[in-house]
A = this chain, B = another copy of it.
Amino acid sequence: MANPYLKQYLMTAGPTPLPPEVSLAMAEPMLYHRAPSFIDVYARALDRLKHVFGTENDVLIFASSGTGALESAAANLVRRGQPVLVASCGKFGERWSELSDAYGGRTVHWETEWGQKVEPAGLDRVLGENPEVEVVFTTLSETSTGVVNDVRELAEVAHRHDALIVVDAVSGLGAVPIPQDEWNVDVVVSGSQKALMSPPGLGFASANEAALEYAAGTDTPRYYFDWARTVAGQRKDSPDSPFTPAVGLIAALDVALGMIEEEGLEQVLDRHRLLGRACREAVRALDLETFGPDDENANVVTAINLPESIDGSRVPKVMRDTYGITIAGGQARLKGKIARLAHCGYFGAFDILLTVSAFEMTLSELGHEVELGSGVAAAQRVFLEAGVPASAPA
């Protein structure tokens, strides 16, 4: 149990902090899913999702984690014995490979070093070597490393090789650009609990006509995650979910998407750009390095290489237990090596400043020499130069 007298700050890349309006929507009385008062909410949320995805496709909502939405793509597109390409660069990318294996695909798993981007040129080469691949699975924002891939270019390469491309945008959607129709991405999957400022428990899948057609020809066992079943329900005049929808979560999502609409999607993406830049400047001012390339698109989560002189696994623990600030450390092979400061969703300037200040104090406490305030100052300068108002979100 966290100390109730220590003010708590959630600074992870999912679940992310909820706007109070969204929390309150969760507390509203339950609605019957077939009553007009819920159908209105559902229809509006479906419509607002299309806007955030930048698509005319139906964006399917599943009551599931983000992984459920990933699984829907595997269950609808992976054919037993048929080769598929997984282009991964971190822990979440690897999940595509596990899913493809689970569904009997002949998985060609092309791994890019963790912390590096999936390179379009490399994808071109690998697809050239595997001409029978019909589906490519990859990642927009690799939450385990902070890397954001150039999905637009990856989509172009996949299409040159006549392959569909499926993108895990669970942490990226709503933080970094992925206008699905403009970039011609066949399938984008996402989840509620990251940049969409909603509680965990909803998965989304937006598949274009080509992908839906391919799915229709795939006889892999599926029911709950079958796209055709959910498309049919959502396309009704009064949209309907084939299974009891997560009413409270959808009401919360609708409020959050309304907030994104009000701020404006472009402004939301700009805000994330600024938060990412401020975070990277702070890291630089502390004489530390981000994990992987210093990339101006890495605006979802900033992964920081921790000094080797300290016990890195203690960083998230000290920040949480001493300062009440919950960040994530490294996962799997990166355990103890990096700290991840999130800035996707309901984050503003002062979330960055307070997190950086706690990070400085934590490094100092663990014995690393830090000029206190130097990271904070660097981030402050970024915000001041951009003319951001004093309150978050900008």
> Interface on A for B, CB 8 Å cutoff?
1-2, 8, 10, 12, 14-18, 23-24, 26-37, 40, 62-68, 71, 74-75, 98-99, 102-104, 191, 193, 199-201, 220-226, 242-249, 320, 326, 328
A248-B201 CB under 8 A given contacts A10-B29, A10-B31, A75-B221: yes
* Interface of A: prevailing SS: loop
A23 to B267, CA, bound (A): 33
A24-B27 CB under 8 A given contacts A35-B320, A63-B64, A223-B98: yes
Q: List chain B residues, Cβ under 8 A from A64.
A: 62-64, 68, 224
A26-B248 CB under 8 A given contacts A37-B2, A223-B71, A320-B35: yes
A71 to B31, CA, bound (A): 25
Q: Which of B99, B199, B247 contacts A223 (CB 8 A)?
A: B99
In the assembly, how many copies of this chain are there? 2
A37 to B320, CA, bound (A): 11
Q: Are B74 and A223 in contact, with the CB atoms below 8 A?
A: yes
Tell me, rounded to whole Å, the shortest Cβ–Cβ distance linking A94 to chain B: 13
The 3 A-B residue pairs with the shortest CB-CB distance in the complex, in nearest-first order: A201-B246, A27-B27, A26-B26
Q: List chain B residues, Cβ under 8 A from A104.
A: 221
Q: Which B residue sits closest to A35, measured CB to CB?
A: B326
Q: Which of B1, B27, B66, B247 contacts A36 (CB 8 A)?
A: B1
Tell me, rounded to whole Å, the shortest Cβ–Cβ distance linking A302 to chain B: 17
Q: List chain B residues, Cβ under 8 A from A248.
A: 26, 199-201, 248-249
A36 to B326, CA, bound (A): 11
Q: Which B residue sits closest to A4, measured CB to CB?
A: B37
A244-B66 CB under 8 A given contacts A10-B30, A221-B75, A249-B249: yes
A223 to B223, CA, bound (A): 13
Q: Are A244 and B10 in contact, with the CB atoms below 8 A?
A: no
Tell me, rounded to whole Å, the shortest Cβ–Cβ distance linking A104 to chain B: 6
